C-alpha cells in the first residue's frame, strides 16, 4: 500500500539544520524576476547585498536551497511516484523579518493525509527556529498526488475561501521569462517536470511547467511592491492554493482585494483566457 494513514499522520520528518547567505537570497530574488529595472530603488533592494531585503517566501525554500537531487515523495507510510505529484497549497507565517544571512533549524512533520478518492493530499508542517530556539517562521504545505486516493482515509476539509467581490484595489500584469524554470531550479527544486520536456510529457503536460513556488514568490513580490511600497517587513502571512499551471514565458494577471487583515488575491494566465494559476491567496499584513 503506497499510503498508510495510521503510520503517516503525525510522523516526525526529522530535523534539518541549514544556513543561507546573501548570495542565496540574491539568486532566489533573481530567479523570481527581480531586477528587471536596474535603476529602480525598490528593485535594487532585492538584488544588492548592501541594502538587501528578503521576501518572506524565501523561508519556504531556504531549508532545501542546496538540495541538488530531484525530490522523492517517500515518508513514513507514504510512497508515491514523483510524476503524479503537484503542489496543492503553501503558506508561510514569519515571526519577524527574515535576515539576509543566517543559520536555522527546521522541525518537520506530516500534519495530515486526506483521501480524495481519485487523489491523495499530504499536509506537511515545519517550524523553523534559530539554533538557540527563537522562532523564525512556520510553513504549511500540501501536495496533491493524482491516482493515489482510495486508501480509506478521511476526506479532509472541503470548505473553500469565498471568492472576493467588488472591484480589486490592484490589477497588474507580471511577465515571466521562457527560461524562468531553468533559473528557479537552482533554488533547490530539481524536479524534472520543470525542465525536461520528455518527463513533462509523461506527466501529461505539453512542455515543462513553472514551479508552483516560483509563481508563489512572483505573486508575493508583486503584492509587496504594489500594495506595501516594497516593505517586506509588513508581511505576516502569505498563503495560496495552486489552482493551475503556468508555462515559463507566460504572463500573470495578478488582482487583489482589500480584507480586514490585509488582502486576498488571484493570479491567472493571461494568454490562456485567464486560466487560474493561484487562488485563495491571502496576504496578512502587520
275 three-class SS: strand
Instruction: Judge whether 90 and 61 are in contact, CB under 8 Å.
Output: no
Q: How many helices (H) and strands (E) does the chain have?
A: 7, 12
Instruction: Judge whether 275 and 269 are in contact, CB under 8 Å.
Output: yes
Burial per residue of 154-173, b for 16 or more beta-carbon CB atoms within 10 angstroms, e otherwise: eeeeeeeeeebeeebeeeee
| Cα 87 from Cα 145, distance rounded (Å) | 9
| Cα 125 from Cα 139, distance rounded (Å) | 6
Question: If we measure between CA atoms, which residue out of 28, 75, 73 comes closest to residue 216?
Answer: 28
Question: If we measure between CA atoms, which residue out of 126, 64, 131, 142 comes closest to residue 93?
Answer: 126
- Provide the strand spans (E) within the chain: 12-20, 73-75, 78-80, 85-94, 102-115, 119-129, 135-146, 170-175, 235-242, 251-258, 262-269, 275-285
CA angle, 116 then 117 then 119, to 5°: 65
Of 29, 112, 115, 194, the active-site residue reads 194
204 three-class SS: coil
| Cα 23 from Cα 272, distance rounded (Å) | 35
How many CA atoms, within 13 angstroms, populate the side-chain half-sphere of residue 15? Answer: 7
Is 194 considered catalytic here? Answer: yes
Of 189, 211, 225, 279, the active-site residue reads 189
Residues annotated as catalytic (active site), given as ranges: 189, 194
Amino acid at each position: 500500500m503506497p499510503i498508510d494513514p495510521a503510520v503517516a499522520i503525525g510522523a516526525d520528518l526529522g530535523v534539518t539544520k541549514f544556513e543561507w547567505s546573501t548570495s542565496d537570497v540574491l539568486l532566489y530574488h533573481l530567479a523570481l524576476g527581480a531586477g528587471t529595472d536596474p535603476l529602480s530603488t525598490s528593485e535594487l533592494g532585492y538584488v544588492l547585498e548592501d541594502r538587501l531585503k528578503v521576501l518572506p517566501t524565501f523561508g519556504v525554500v531556504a531549508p532545501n536551497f542546496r538540495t541538488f537531487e530531484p525530490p522523492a515523495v517517500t515518508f513514513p507510510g507514504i510512497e508515491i511516484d514523483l510524476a503524479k505529484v503537484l503542489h496543492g497549497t503553501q503558506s508561510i507565517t514569519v515571526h519577524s523579518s527574515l535576515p539576509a544571512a543566517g543559520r536555522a533549524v527546521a522541525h518537520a512533520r506530516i500534519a495530515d493525509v486526506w483521501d480524495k478518492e481519485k487523489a491523495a493530499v499530504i499536509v506537511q508542517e515545519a517550524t523553523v527556529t534559530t539554533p538557540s530556539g527563537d522562532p523564525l517562521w512556520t510553513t504549511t504545505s500540501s501536495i496533491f498526488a493524482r491516482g493515489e486516493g482510495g486508501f480509506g482515509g478521511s476526506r479532509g476539509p472541503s470548505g473553500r475561501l469565498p471568492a472576493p467581490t467588488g472591484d480589486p484595489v490592484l490589477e497588474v500584469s507580471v511577465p515571466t521569462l521562457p527560461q524562468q524554470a531553468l533559473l528557479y531550479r537552482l533554488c533547490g527544486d530539481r524536479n524534472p517536470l520543470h525542465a525536461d520536456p520528455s518527463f513533462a510529457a509523461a506527466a501529461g503536460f505539453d512542455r515543462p511547467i513553472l514551479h508552483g513556488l516560483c509563481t508563489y514568490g512572483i505573486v508575493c513580490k508583486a503584492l509587496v511592491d504594489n500594495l506595501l511600497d516594497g516593505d517586506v517587513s509588513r508581511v505576516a502571512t502569505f498563503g495560496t492554493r495552486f489552482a493551475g499551471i503556468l508555462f515559463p514565458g507566460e504572463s500573470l494577471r495578478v488582482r487583489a482585494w482589500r480584507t480586514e487583515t490585509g488582502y486576498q488575491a488571484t493570479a491567472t494566465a493571461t494568454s490562456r483566457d485567464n486560466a487560474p494559476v493561484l487562488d485563495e491567496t491571502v496576504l496578512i499584513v502587520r
